[in-house]
Structure formats: C-alpha cells, structure tokens
Structure 1
C-alpha cells in the first residue's frame, strides 16, 4: 500500500448548512473532488449529500425562518425525536429566548 492509503482521514462533522451549500456548488458545475478537498471530507461523502439532497433541502426550507440564528446554522444532523412536535416547539422557544439573551439552563429546559 502507498503512504496515502495507510493514513485515515480524521472524521470531520459538517453542518447541514454547509452540506446544502456543497449541493449548490455541485449544481453550479463544481466537481465533487474539489468540494471534498475544500471541506476536508471524502468524495463519496459529497456524493451521499447529493443522493440525500431532497431531505437536506427539505430540512433547510423548514428551518429557513430561523436560518439567521446560530443554533440552526451550526446544526449537524437532521435526526428526529420521538416527540417531534414537542421537540420542535421547544427548539423554537429556545431559539427565541436565546435571541433575546435570556439565559437558559438545563433545569429550565426540563
């Protein structure tokens, strides 16, 4: 094996916002290899984002209203909770309170 094949790339977690931007770059004609290099991920990872584009785009459009808020922009996963409606309402409440600089602790969330 060559020296490059022996080294594993360190796992890098990309935000959903960055994944969406990568898909837009693909649509603009940029190569998956270039995007992968820029983001420090594998080419197949970029291909997975393209394959899951509908889900990523749907998630971004649902959360577009709060896209200016930091918690949504930095979010890494699209995992659903067992109680989707309650979880979504709590998240919206949390974002609104944080935008008003209201300190929120774990016990308050509970």
Structure 2
C-alpha cells in the first residue's frame, strides 16, 4: 500500500477514488510511565514511555486504515493526515485518515493529468 501526505503520488496516475478511510485507537496512560514522566518533569528530557506509546498508536492506526483501504480495492492512500485528541485526563485518541485510491505507474513521457 502506497501512502502519501500529498494529494498525488509522484510517478503514478490516480485511476479511481474509493473514498475516505480512517484508523483510530484510544490509549490510556500506564502507571509506570506516569511515574517515570513525573521524574522526567523534574530533571527534564524526553518522555520515552510516552514517545513509545504514541509510535505504537500511530502504527496501529495506519494498519487499520490500510486494511480498510485494501478491503475497498485500493492500492494507495493519498492526503494522509494524523490527529490526536484527549478523551480523558488519562487517555488520548490517535486518528489517521486519508483518501483511498487506485493508482497505476506513469509511462515514460506520460503526465498524471492525461
């Protein structure tokens, strides 16, 4: 599955739009991560536990979005965007969305607009 944050894919022509696809997850903080984060607030530095949590969340969201696009018959997703929001004091949602499309490689000298 090809993914792009732009509305196009260089070297490919969009043949068909399948529609909006999305993937999301809501994750709660872990008490151990909270304790370490509290200590880091005192001395400063990256909150590795939370960084890891967000990386895992984004990967899971992309996987869910990709599965939805594949079920629609798409082979690419364009205009991919990420969003996060607080659900409660202890949980956050990560959302990824985009437009599922079918693309084909451009032939030499061919324009994506043709």
- Using the size of structure 2 for normalisation, the TM-score is 0.25
TM-score normalized with structure 1 length: 0.25
Is the strand fraction higher in 1 or 2? 2
Identify, as 1 or 2, the structure richer in helix: 1
Larger Cα Rg: Structure 1 or Structure 2? 2
